[in-house]
Structure formats: C-alpha cells, structure tokens
Amino acid sequence: MSTFPPPIWSTDTVPAGQQFAFWREAVCDVFLNIDVNCNTHEKFRGKIDSRDIGKLRLSRIDAQHHHAALDSQGLAKTSKECFYVNFQVKGRCIIKQHGRVAYVEQGQWYVLDSTEPFDLRYDGSILSHSFEIPYKILDTTIHLVRNITGQVLGIRSGLERYLTDYAYGVSKHADQLGEADKEKLCSNFIDIFISTLPLQDSRSSLLGPSRARREQIDKYVEENIEDPQLCPSSIVKACGISLSTLHSLFSTQEQSVMRCVRTKRLELAYKRLQSFNCRSSSISEISYGCGFSDLSHFCHAFKAYFGQTPRSVRSGTLISKINNVV
C-alpha cells in the first residue's frame, strides 16, 4: 500500500491575484497543454486531486465556471495519447469535439480524445471525475471509444448505472488499496466502460443477401436466447447456412457469435436480477432461464463481466450509491 498521499492542486493556499495563473498551470500539469480562460483573473476557486490507479489516472475536479480548450498549439506541445472518460457529478458543461456539440448535465458521462482539438465550457461551479485511459491499454477497442467522443453518455441501462456506481467506489476507496488491487480496479473499470459502448453495427457494411442473413440470425438468437442448446450448429441449421458463412458474418464485430450470445444472456440475467417481477425466482432459476446450463459457470462469467456477483446485484449492495458520495 502506498504511503504517499495523492497530489492535490488547490487555490485555497494561493494569494488571490495569483490563483487563476496557478489554476492554469495545474490544469496543464495534470492534463494537457490546455488554454484555460475565465471572466475573472483576480480570484479563482479550484481544486484538483489526482491519483494513479493501476494504468489509469483518476482526477477529481472541483472548480468554479471556466473555459478550457485544446487547440493546434496545445496539441503540438504534447505527445499524450489517451481518452478522458469524465463523469459530471455536479454542475453542467458544454463540450465540442469532432464537429459534435453536446450539453452535459449532472449524472452524465462524456469522453474527450487527447489527440484531437476540443472545447470544454463549464457553466457555473462543477464537480467532475475524470478517468485518463491510455490508448495502449485499449488495444482493438480504441475505435469504439473514438466513435463516442464529443457525445453525452446518459444512464440508459443497468450497465451504465453500474459504471457510475463502480466509478464512485474507485474514487472513494482507491487510496486504501495496494498496487495489485489497484490494477484489478483499473482492469474492471475499463471492462465495464467498454461494455457500455454501442458496438458498431456490422450489418451496415453488409449488402444484399449477407445483410438479410445477419438480420435473420440476429432475430433467431433473440428469440432463442433462453435455450441452453443455442449454439453455432443450431443457428446454421435453423438459418440454412454453413458454419463458415456464420463466422464470416460476425467477422467485423469485436465478439464472435457465441461471445455475443453469452453477452446477451448475461445482460438479460442482470435485468432479471434487478426486476421486481423476478424477485421470487432464485439465482439458479434465473441463470437457467437465461440459457446457462451450469450455475458455477454463470456466476463466474457474471462476475467477470460486471465486476459483481449475482447475489450482490440481487440484494442491491452496489459498491457505492451516488447520493452517499459528495
């Protein structure tokens, strides 16, 4: 366990006339060579507390309204290649990147790319959690993240709500953990974040008969997701295609056909574990009802995918609740 406190940049101990200059330097030190402006350069309130969590860097930003922009000059002064996955805890902001403009409200996520110009304008006082994720640890999923930069990621699903809860848990407890546990936190956070992203629809690149076949397969999988016998052999038999055709139709996706099936089953199980209508069903009944034939395998896969056991989801004991953290 680290014995060193995380670095903190705060204007509280800086003379009034020097506070904004201090803040500008702190932002450039923690993030990038960003052009920072405010309508007052006399007094400025701002605080950044930053710590490394495995290969991630988490920064909590608590500040008054200001404007930050990464322009071509700033890009020329940095070689950092990363994404900033930011959660708006309090306040609002306007973001611009890749020709997109988005209005971010409290409780929403957004992503910025360090290798492209962006504009970030905070409307009033804000509190934000920023997770810096280097390109090199994302591998083949970089394009999925880049596709959603400059956009708002609202809390639309159980996965995104879980990402928010998990992020609060990371922020609250990371300093109490050793390096090995921090690496696990880092890995789990990235897995959960990537799981919330919309997969690029490979059907859009298919034409004519190939597109029709994919739609036929997707429909069959959705209708039979609860069947434990659902597998490539049953899919090709029902859809009248060969195994090689099946795998080629999924070749442009990040997941194979059976990985897609397992993901759909896990997400269905998560919904049912949280559903009031399924409260009388046991965890084993829910797992079998979602197409899993082995309870132990289901529990292991569930925890690996969501970072939490089925029992903890059922009981509602998530890592941290939003309204319990300030």
What is the residue-wise DSSP string for 117-172?
-EEEEEEEEEEEEEEEEEGGGTGGGHHHHHTTTTSEE---SHHHHHHHHHHHHHHH
Domain pair 8-196 / 205-315, same fold = no
Q: What is the pLDDT of residue 157?
A: 53
Cross-strand bridge partners of residue 66 = none
Q: What is the pLDDT of residue 158?
A: 58
- Which of the 8 DSSP states describes residue 86? E
Q: Is this structure's pTM higher than 0.85? A: no
Q: What is the pLDDT of residue 198?
A: 66
For the CA atoms of 37, 38, 41, 44, the dihedral, rounded to the nearest 10 degrees, stands at -110
* Residue 303 CA to its chain's centroid (Å): 17
Nearest CA to 194 out of 122, 140, 231 is that of: 140
CA distance 243 to 224: 18
Q: What is the pLDDT of residue 258?
A: 86
Tokens matching residue 7: 């670095």
Q: Which residue type sits at 64? A: Q
- Alpha-carbon separation of residue 254 from 202, 221, 236, 258 (angstroms): 10, 17, 20, 12
* Residue 147 CA to its chain's centroid (Å): 13
Residue 234 parent element (H or E): helix 232-239
Q: What share of the chain is helix, strand, coil (3-state, %, to 5)?
A: 50, 20, 30
Residue extents of the structural domains in the chain: 8-196, 205-315
The superfamily in CATH containing domain 8-196 is Jelly Rolls (2.60.120.10)
Q: What is the pLDDT of residue 215?
A: 80
- pLDDT averaged per 10 residues in sequence order, the chain, 326 residues: 62 91 93 89 89 91 94 86 93 90 89 94 92 86 83 65 81 82 86 73 53 81 91 89 79 72 89 86 93 91 87 65 36
CATH class of 205-315: mainly alpha
Show Cβ contacts of residue 235 under 8 Å, excluding neighbours closer than 6 positions. Answer: 217, 220, 221, 246, 257
Nearest CA to 54 out of 195, 194, 188 is that of: 188
Q: What is the pLDDT of residue 224?
A: 92
Geometric angle at alpha carbon 144, from 167 and 78, rounded to 5°:
80
